[in-house]
Amino acid sequence: MRASILTRLTLWNASVLACLLVLFAAAGWITLSRAVSQRTAATVRESARAVAGAIVAERRAAAARGDVEEVPGAYERAALREMRVGDLDIFITADGASDDTTPADSVEVVAARQPRTTPAQVVPVPPSLRAVMDSVRDERARGLLSDTVVAIRRATLGDSTYRVALLRVEPEPIDREDEPPLLVTVMLSEAEDRALLRQVRTTLLLAIPLALLVSVAAGFLLARRSLAPLEAIVARTATITAANLDERLPVLNPHDELGRLTQIINGLLERVDRAFRVQRQFMADASHELRTPLAIVRGEAEVTLRRPHREEAEYREALGIVQAESLRLSRIVDDLLLLARTDAGGTLITRRPVSVTELVLSVLRSLRTLADARGVALQAHIDAALEPGTDDVVQGDESLLRRLLLNLLDNALKYAPAGSTVQLTVGPAAPDLAQGVRVQVSDVGPGIPAALRDRVFERFVHGAAPAPAPSSQSVSAESGTPSPVQTGAGLGLAIAQAIAAAHGGRIVLLDRPLGTTFDVLLPLDPTLGGSA
């Protein structure tokens, strides 16, 4: 497994090809051996039948002419003279003969594989062939072999191996009464077959290694060419750092596996680049938001310390400004810490049953003073179909859900004109959505500009600051009590969305012709089986 993919592909390809070639060679060798053996057996079998047929035909022709065989074996010699025996050895013997030689006056052994002009001669039967003949006679005597079946055997004469066919020829009715049955024996040397098999074996032994070498070379080149784009991807990816995340890998063929891999890597680089840009922007915006209150605190301290003596009222005024900016710094740091924990996937909530209706009413009571100071009315509407205590119970952190509502209401009170009403509506979710409770916060203020609607839940994004009333205040997300109004850092809606997401819900800015409406959906507590 430590080898490279290129090496492994080459070795796998060579191994598979080697197995296939060996299996193919073995199957071919077995098939060829059987075919050659069957061809030789068929040759001697048909030759034995042809010799027997020629002998019978010669005897019948002589009987038709009225000839009488004066010399034993004359018909057999005549039949052999009319045949082209080629490389066959043919022995015609009396089936009852068991001697190695036969007297010349009663010729029973006739041999061939000679020119047609040379008469067949009487020769002794080799002992090994005689043993084969006796074996066949014994099988016929025991009924294991029919007289009409050509017996195929193998015999060894000297250093050569022969395929032997033996066929019994019964006397014809026209023959003499003392005419014995004949045994036609046809032999064919297997030397040529063995030479052919040796040549094939030599060819296979040379061709298989050569084919493997060619396959390894071709597989290596093909694998290297196929993996060349992957090497380019590796080399190009290694050059991409945080300083050049905007670079992308070239997609040569978007339809193959490497093309799809390149597209996935480019998508990953795009997401990483976007995350880095958001992080850098977040750090820049956070630094900017923290720099302003820090500069105010530093400036007040420097002005106060510039003169050796100041009145008590001046010190108290300076310390009041320092305290207000310190509170603002604390809120920004807490908000940044909450968002950082959200980004890191940390645990934000301690889950327990929370009644959304009771929470909304509690938040409204906390904001009455702030709303009265701005001349804005707060009005809650609880849907009659919602059964408090059952249909409005969610599993969540009450303090975080309170902060979510306070952030939305604080945003609405900042931009709601004096004399208007901020509406809070609590009801069940729409039937086509998952079971949950819905809270809508609506105001009739100037609304969110179209250019900011898609970015309203991003961090440090806020519209133009409203003109606060001289006595206006805002709400403290930590305590839920009014505090002096000031332009926010643009984190309130981002924190509200993060809290909703931590509870499995979401916040959506609805498209309304007048004012701003935020729609909050929180999933119900599954253990209570509400009807929403």
Q: Which of 28-42, 48-62, 122-136, 474-488 has the highest mean pLDDT?
A: 28-42
pLDDT the model gives residue 344: 63
CATH code at 355?
3.30.565.10
464 and 420 together in one domain: yes
| Residue 435 placed within a domain | yes
Residue 185, classed as helix, strand or coil, is: strand
CA geometry: angle 314, 316, 320, nearest 5 deg: 115
Measured between its terminal Cα atoms, the distance across the chain in Å is 57
Q: Are 331 and 477 in contact (CB under 8 A)?
A: yes
Backbone angles phi, psi at 93, to 5 degrees: -130, 155
315 and 188 together in one domain: no
- Asked which of 346, 361, 394 is the last residue of a domain, the reply is 346
Q: Are 76 and 110 in contact (CB under 8 A)?
A: yes
pLDDT the model gives residue 31: 93
pLDDT exceeds cutoff 70 at 119: no
Query: Which of 175-189, 218-232, 247-261, 321-335 has the least mean pLDDT?
Result: 175-189
185 and 60 together in one domain: yes
| Residue 229 placed within a domain | no
CA-to-CA dists, residue 10 to 16, 221, 226, 352, angstroms = 10, 9, 12, 61
Q: Which tokens sit at 55? A: 């002998």
Q: What is the mean pLDDT of the chain?
A: 79
Structure confidence at residue 440 as a pLDDT band (50, 70, 90): very high
For residues 91 and 73, give the distance between their C-alpha atoms in angstroms, rounded to a whole number: 12
- State which residues form the domain around 323: 240-346
- Asked which of 164, 197, 230 is the last residue of a domain, the reply is 197
Q: Which residues are paired to 394 by β-bridges?
A: 354
283 and 363 together in one domain: no
pLDDT the model gives residue 315: 81
| Residue 401 placed within a domain | yes
| Residue 375 placed within a domain | yes
pLDDT the model gives residue 40: 92
CA-to-CA dists, residue 296 to 175, 184, 292, 324, 473, angstroms = 144, 129, 6, 10, 20
DSSP string, 289-330: HHHHHHHHHHHHHHHHHHSS---HHHHHHHHHHHHHHHHHHH
136 and 250 together in one domain: no
289 and 193 together in one domain: no
pLDDT the model gives residue 58: 79
464 and 397 together in one domain: yes
pLDDT exceeds cutoff 60 at 487: no
| Residue 222 placed within a domain | no
pLDDT the model gives residue 73: 67
- Asked which of 309, 328, 346 is the last residue of a domain, the reply is 346
Percent of the chain with pLDDT over 70: 80
Structure confidence at residue 349 as a pLDDT band (50, 70, 90): low
For 274, residues 6+ apart whose C-beta sits below 8 A from its C-beta are none
DSSP string, 437-501: EEEEEEE-SS---GGGGGGTTSTT---PPP---TT-EEE-TTT--EEE-----S-HHHHHHHHHH
**Strands 421-428 and 377-382: what pairing?**
parallel
The pLDDT of 103-111, averaged and rounded, is 39
Q: Which tokens sit at 2? A: 């430590």
